[in-house]
Amino acid sequence: MSKAGDGAAAGQPLLRIEDLQKKFGDLEVLCGVSLNVARGEKVSIIGPSGSGKTTLLRCINYLEKPSAGHIYIDGTLIGEKKSGDRFIHLTDRELARERQEIGFVFQRFNLFPHLTALGNVTVAPMRVLNLSREAAEARGRDMLQKVGLSHKADEYPERLSGGQQQRVAIARVLAMQPKLMLFDEATSALDPELIGEVLRVMRQLAEEGATMVIVTHEIQFASEVSDRVIFMDQGRIVEQGLSREVLFKPKEARTREFLKHIQDR
């Protein structure tokens, strides 16, 4: 969105997270997470339940307000702006503008049940980007085709399988042409036989050069798709590095333990 950001792009990460902290009451869920993601990079986040992975993703698009720390996308602060040396929160309208650039794929899809598959994909381009219906539908059909669901454009979500619903949810995000896509365990609410079709779509996006942050328990998938893997535990990044190193030659005992636990499952 900010042209200034694009100009300075070459060297600077697309996503920069600085010392992010999040507390729910007394519970410290994120205890200072810092992370850079380059344009076109795929980063997978793994870690035990309750380690703060979802919370981290939700902070990135400000569905959750961080308790401390800052997030930048393309050099633009997310959720706040600087006034002098103070940070002030954005208005709802400004925040909504920033969120257009960040796609979020939820574990439970969260499709809009009152809209068809095509309606789900076109509602934001029409109502947020103010595209005409024709333009939005053309774009929406392209996106549905991309996820292999052209033939389901007129179905309502309740008549789609979980895997199909999740693919519509991905198409819905793609239709906004986000700079960054966040996936929160996109396959863990699915029956095992439906996981493959969603991973296939995600893999294709990765190959096309999308910038993706993926929370997942699919170790095989993470190793194939991501450039980098991050292991989180108790609100901290415990280990990070190239995916094959973290996944197959972890340095930290906790990482090894977690990976072993997941493989035994």
Partner 1 sequence: MLELPQIYAENIHRWLPELLYYSLMTLKIGFFSFIVAVVFGILVALCRVSKNRLVRTLAIWFIEIGRGLPIVVILYIIYFVPPQLFPGLNWTWFSDFTGAVLGLGIHGGAILAEVFRSGIEALHKGQREAAMSLGMTPAKSMVYIILPQATRIVLPPVGNYAIGLLKDTSLCTLIGVNEIMNGAKSIAFSDYQPMAVFILVAGIYFAMSYPLSLLVRALERRLSTAQ
Q: What share of the chain is helix, strand, coil (3-state, %, to 5)?
A: 40, 25, 35
Residues 6 or more apart in contact with residue 235 via CB below 8 angstroms: 22, 28, 29, 30, 31, 33, 51, 52
Which CB sits closer to partner 1, 185 or 233? Answer: 185
- Report, in Å, the least distance between residue 23 CB and ligand ATP: 9
Q: Do residues 123 and 111 make contact, with C-beta atoms less than 8 angstroms apart?
A: no
Q: Does 49 bind ligand ATP (CB under 6 A)?
A: yes
| Helix-helix angle 162-174:117-127, to 10 degrees | 20
- Report, in Å, the least distance between residue 169 CB and partner 1: 8
3-state secondary structure of 246: helix
Contact segment (CB under 6 A) with ligand ATP among 12-20, 50-58, 96-104, 164-172 equals: 50-58
Tell me how many helices (H) and strands (E) the chain has.
Answer: 10, 12
Q: Does 29 bind ligand ATP (CB under 6 A)?
A: yes
Q: Does 50 bind ligand ATP (CB under 6 A)?
A: yes
DSSP state, 134?
A: H
- Report, in Å, the least distance between residue 165 CB and ligand ATP: 19
Which CB sits closer to ligand ATP, 54 or 226? Answer: 54
Q: Determine which residue in the list 51, 54, 243, 255 makes contact with Mg ion, applying CB under 5 A.
A: 54
Closest of 264, 262, 162, 166 to residue 218, by C-alpha: 262
Instruction: Scan residues 97-156 and list those touching ligand ATP (CB under 6 A).
Output: none
Please choose which of ligand ATP, Mg ion, partner 1, none residue 27 contacts, taking the beta carbon within 5 to 8 angstroms, the exact cut-off set by kind. Answer: ligand ATP
Q: Does 216 bind ligand ATP (CB under 6 A)?
A: no
Q: Does 262 bind ligand ATP (CB under 6 A)?
A: no
Q: Does 61 bind Mg ion (CB under 5 A)?
A: no
Q: Does 7 bind ligand ATP (CB under 6 A)?
A: no
First to last CA, the chain: 43
**Distance separating alpha carbons of residues 3 and 207, to the nearest angstrom:** 26
Which CB sits closer to ligand ATP, 54 or 122? Answer: 54
Q: Which helix (H) or strand (E) is 233 found in, with range? A: strand 228-233
Which CB sits closer to partner 1, 158 or 264? Answer: 158
3-state secondary structure of 77: strand
Contact segment (CB under 6 A) with ligand ATP among 9-17, 48-56, 92-100, 173-181 equals: 48-56
- Report, in Å, the least distance between residue 226 CB and Mg ion: 17
Please tell me the number of Cα atoms within 13 Å of 183 on its side-chain side: 34
Residues that bind partner 1 (CB under 8 A): 61, 63, 92-93, 96-97, 99-100, 102-104, 106, 108, 110-114, 123-124, 127-129, 156, 158, 172-173, 176
Q: Do residues 14 and 8 make contact, with C-beta atoms less than 8 angstroms apart?
A: no
Residues that bind Mg ion (CB under 5 A): 54
- Where does this chain bind ligand ATP (CB under 6 A)? 24, 27, 29, 47, 49-55
